[in-house]
Structure 1
Amino acid sequence: MLDPRSLYLRSMMLKREEVPSFRRYPFNLPAVHDFASLSFRQPVTFIVGENGSGKSTLLEAMAIAWGFNPEGGTVNFAFETQASHSELHQYLRLARGTTRPKDGFFFRAESYYNVATNIDRLDAEESFGPPIRDSYGGKSLHEQSHGESFFAAFMHRFGGRGLYLMDEPEAALSPLKQLSMLSRIHQLVAKRSQFVIATHSPILMSYPHAEIWLLDEKGMRQVELEETEHYIITRKMMNNREQMLDILLEEEY
């Protein structure tokens, strides 16, 4: 297991003195507006929050600042479908550990289709060496269901001793597959890997000893799983389903 003192990504800070204006996007997001720095102390860190809280924006900026393609993939992927990323990465400073990762991947659910398309294109163009798809299980990601193609990357492309940044990886995964992903994360942590994951999934957030950072209108703060709305609402729904449905579906007369 990766010693917290030897994490590949140790911390990140916002170069606040260089930010042109905190009144424009993305610097006006509460989680960014008051952000100074974040230290990583465990091999698995979760960034959580409501839609629009800025968790994907922050993770994207972190990935670009590290050297990943904005749309996802490895540091060697140089394709661009549409430049939609923010300028936040230009104002982040990352502190890297003394040990360099041997592997790395920026996984983002919303643009994974573009990654799959780029892999197929490169395999069609290259006439030497093994196909890139071999690293993803040997089958085109477009020839699999959305969830299967997600899991192909987790199981085959992620090899260990790597830094893996993941944006909502649960998007196409059933609860059972999310449990399988928990197991896969644990296998890779045992192989000296580090994860930073933006997610809505209380299943993934339950990973032991992981740090959870909540983004909301108050900014960013560390919380326990049981303090997140994701956990609280899911638990209420499962334990008091009829009561919750009565409230949600109450007819107005």
Structure 2
Amino acid sequence: MRRSSWPATLAPVRQILDEGFDLAPVTVLVGENGAGKSTIVEAIASAFGMNPEGGSTASMSETRKTESDLADHLQLIRGAGASKQGFFLRAETMHGFFTYLESIGDEGTFHEQSHGESFLDLVAARSRVRGLWVLDEPESALSLPGCLALIGLLRDLVSNGSQVLLSTHSPVLAAYPGASLYEVGEWGIRSSEYDDLDLVRNWRGFLESPERYLRYLD
């Protein structure tokens, strides 16, 4: 991929293309909007064989192509005996994915539930999938208790041999115990401790003194 072409113009994407990127049992990417988190996780999911709109490696759901062609330029290297199964969860495309499940006769009742309830129930219902789980900003569907419930579900998946790649703006999900944390931005991708994340510092600052932030809205 030409480094002068999007999305290689994004520093994190360019770093992955030039240096590669190792996934831990649980890898969490955080960063501002537009930094490249979703582009990266979407491309990894697609390169793995998952539907870029969400779903498993066998899902055929498709509405409108919005993903980049980054996946075509990634080579995934699996460990010996690694599963070829995977599941990609994107909060922004869940409605379309649930419609697809209904169209193929899936017995779930996801459209009859709230966004958060259906998201968590989908993870639980697909927990038999052992492999790579990719989640793109799932917190948009979840409350604080919902985020904690998702961590519990993901820990069960990992304990049974799955691997998790997660992009998030949530300090709750970023606190996943034992996760490898990476901050994505104009510098590229850098490893970070939880307390050093801008995400965590900013949320702590806001919760300690909301007026310091809100006064700039006037």
| TM, length-normalised to structure 2 | 0.93
Question: Which secondary structure does the structure 1 equivalent of 2:89 belong to?
Answer: strand
2: CA distance, partners of 1:188 / 1:251: 42
* Cα distance, 1:180 vs structure 2: 1.3
1:72-91 alignment runs, 5 A limit: 72-91=54-73
Q: Tell whether the 8 Å contact from 1:160 to 1:189 is kept in structure 2 after alignment.
A: no
Deviations 1:76-105 (A, max 9, x none): 111210011101001101011112327421
**1:108 paired residue number:** 90
Question: Which secondary structure does the structure 2 equivalent of 1:94 belong to?
Answer: coil
**1:157 paired residue number:** 126
Q: Tell whether the 8 Å contact from 1:108 to 1:168 is kept in structure 2 after alignment.
A: yes
Count of residues in correspondence between the two structures? 216
1:189-200 alignment runs, 5 A limit: 189-200=158-169
- Gap runs ≥5 in structure 1: 1-18, 124-131, 134-138
**2:28 paired residue number:** 46
Q: Does 1:236 align with 2:217?
A: no
Question: Which has the greater radius of gyration?
Answer: 1
Amino acid paired to 1:37? G
Amino acid paired to 1:162? G
Amino acid paired to 1:121? S
State the percentage of identical aligned residues: 37
Deviations 1:117-164 (A, max 9, x none): 1001111xxxxxxxx23xxxxx32111111111011122212253210
Amino acid paired to 2:130? R
**2:7 paired residue number:** 26
Deviations 1:215-240 (A, max 9, x none): 101111111111112111111222x2
- Gap runs ≥5 in structure 2: none
Distance 1:160 1:105, change over 3 A: closer
Question: Which secondary structure does the structure 2 equivalent of 1:95 belong to?
Answer: coil
| TM, length-normalised to structure 1 | 0.80
Q: Does 1:245 align with 2:211?
A: yes
**1:37 paired residue number:** 20
1:86-165 alignment runs, 5 A limit: 86-101=68-83, 103-123=85-105, 132-133=106-107, 139-159=108-128, 161-165=130-134
